[in-house]
Amino acid sequence: MLSEKEKEDLLHELNNLKGEIGHIKDRLNKINKEKELYFSQKEEIHKSIIDHVSGIKGEKVKRNELTAKVRDLKSKRDVLNEEIKKRIEELKVLETELKGQQGKEDIRENPVELKKKIERMEFKIETEPMSFEKEKDLMKEIKKLKKVYNGLKGLKDILERIEGKKHEIRELRREATTYHKEVQESASKSQDHHEQLLGNSEEINALKLKEDEIYQKFFDQKQEFNKANAELKEKLVQLKEVKDNLEQNNIELEEETKANIKKVLEKKEKEVEEKVKRTKKLTTEDILILQAKEEAEEQREKRRRGHRKNEEKESGHEKKEEQGQKEKNKEGHKEEKKRAEHKEEKHKEEHKEGHKEGHKEEPKAADTADALVENIESPEGLDKSAE
């Protein structure tokens, strides 16, 4: 059996543990909010990294496609440039051959230019009005030029081949120029995608550093949370041990705690009664409080009736015993007197035992009221009421 000092120490320890548990829960809630905030920030950064990586992949694909295109265009351009060089060499050979032929025959006129000159003069005679004399002079000039031109037919083939080579070179250069422009445009676009890719890579590196920093904060908070949670579990185990010890020794919670609970209930009862008077909507909690109040009153009334019945039974039993004792006293002398005294002592002992048992049978409180008391003791209790 515990001494009064030990009982007081247990109750004091119980209150201290409840206070410590409340503080730990508050700290856990605060740590958890910070932890979840860091986790959300980390997830946002990670999502941004994924978006940047996806962007890098897209830029890389476009850059590689353009790089391949540039490579192909350069290859075609280079082929044309080599062909142009080849044509130029062939042209040089023809021009050398032309100069040699002109040197042998001392020819200064260009057959091609001479032919064009003859055609212009013939066109003039056909289209322009002129005197007979002038027309006659032009015809003589044309005849003379044709004679010269016919003497230059040996060079005509060389000149035509030269003109053909020049035409081929012009066409090849035009095509090569087109490829060159496409190479420059594609290379410029490829460079833009490459720079964008590098920019995204730098942003990813910066985001990864930030993600690592936020994750470290999250991890630290998680460690603090686990530490506080372990501390809470330890305190809850201690609280259970103290409660078990109190229950084993039939020790109720301190009166101050009961009084506080009673005050809270009375306050809430008044609030509910006020709501009823004003015909306001009652919550589930309000209904439970009204039910608890009614059930508690019924239990108190039952206890009062039970006490009255017990008192009446005990009073009737004593009267019967006294009457029997008087009758026995008339029949017996000393022996009967002793027996009556013995029965009287026995009756007193039975009376004491009955009285003790009556006190041991404490009235049961309303289940709903107990639930409310438990809810008030619990930090989460009254928060679960539904509107």
What class does CATH assign to 19-107+152-218?
mainly alpha
C-alpha triplet 222, 224, 230: angle, nearest 5°: 100
pLDDT the model gives residue 383:
36
Q: Which residues of 17-30 are buried (b: 16+ CB within 10 A; e: fewer)?
A: beeebeebeeebee
Q: 278: part of which helix (H) or strand (E)?
A: none
- Contact between 302 and 310 (Cβ < 8 Å): no
CA 274 to CA 280: how far, in whole Å?
A: 9
CA 239 to CA 18: how far, in whole Å?
A: 8
Please name the amino acid found at residue 232: L
CA 25 to CA 158: how far, in whole Å?
A: 106
C-alpha triplet 298, 299, 300: angle, nearest 5°: 90
pLDDT the model gives residue 251:
56
Give the count of alpha carbons within 13 A of 172, CB side only. Answer: 19
- Contact between 275 and 387 (Cβ < 8 Å): no
Q: How far is CA 264 from CA 14, 205, 254, in A?
A: 20, 58, 16
pLDDT tens for the chain, 387 residues: list them. 667 788 788 888 888 988 999 999 999 999 999 999 999 999 999 999 998 888 888 888 888 998 999 999 999 999 999 999 999 999 999 888 877 766 655 455 666 777 888 888 888 888 888 888 888 888 998 888 888 777 666 677 777 888 889 999 999 999 999 989 999 999 998 888 888 888 888 888 999 999 999 999 999 999 999 999 999 999 999 999 888 888 877 655 544 455 556 676 777 778 778 777 777 777 777 777 777 777 777 777 877 787 677 666 656 555 565 665 656 555 555 565 566 566 556 555 554 544 444 433 333 333 433 433 343 333 333 333 333
pLDDT the model gives residue 321:
58
**Burial group, residue 113, by CB count within 10 angstroms (0-12, 13-18, 19+):** exposed
Per the listing, tokens 């999250």 go with 218
Per the listing, tokens 């998680």 go with 222
Those residues whose C-beta lies under 8 Å from the C-beta of residue 79, and which sit 6 or more positions away, are none
Domain positions in the chain are: 19-107+152-218, 110-148, 254-384
Rounded to the nearest angstrom, the gap between the alpha carbon of residue 366 and the centroid of all alpha carbons in its chain is: 47
pLDDT the model gives residue 281:
72
pLDDT the model gives residue 214:
92
